[in-house]
Amino acid sequence: EPEVTQTPSHQVTQMGQEVILRCVPISNHLYFYWYRQILGQKVEFLVSFYNNEISEKSEIFDDQFSVERPDGSNFTLKIRSTKLEDSAMYFCASSDGKGEAFFGQGTRLTVV
């Protein structure tokens, strides 16, 4: 069964450092998403991406965040200068646009 894969599974970084979270969506999907889940809280939408551009972003997705599809297969989330409050599980998802979104297993980001 096709699946969304994310790397790394766990990333520890110093406050102020840049991190890049990587995702390989399902190959024939055209819509890509990043979600975040702070420990003990609900999953929150960050950004959607279609046709090589951001289609929607939440207020969480400020100038410190960026997304890219550098090579037609990977979909990355970059946090430019991490803050302690960026510590969370980050989930990538992809969809064919008909409704069902497939989620990756997540990257646990710990900012120290």
65 forms part of the interface with another protein (CB under 8 A): no
91 forms part of the interface with another protein (CB under 8 A): yes
- Distance of alpha carbon 5 from alpha carbon 58, whole angstroms: 23
What is the DSSP secondary structure assignment for residue 77, as one 8-state letter? Answer: E
- Distance of alpha carbon 96 from alpha carbon 87, whole angstroms: 29
Shortest Cβ 95–another protein spacing (Å): 5
16 forms part of the interface with another protein (CB under 8 A): no
- Distance of alpha carbon 20 from alpha carbon 98, whole angstroms: 29
78 forms part of the interface with another protein (CB under 8 A): no
> How many C-beta atoms surround the C-beta of residue 56 within 10 A?
12
1 forms part of the interface with another protein (CB under 8 A): no
97 forms part of the interface with another protein (CB under 8 A): yes
- Distance of alpha carbon 97 from alpha carbon 55, whole angstroms: 13
Which residues sit at the interface with another protein, rule CB under 8 A? Answer: 6, 30-31, 33, 35, 41-45, 48, 50, 55-56, 91, 93, 95, 97, 99-106
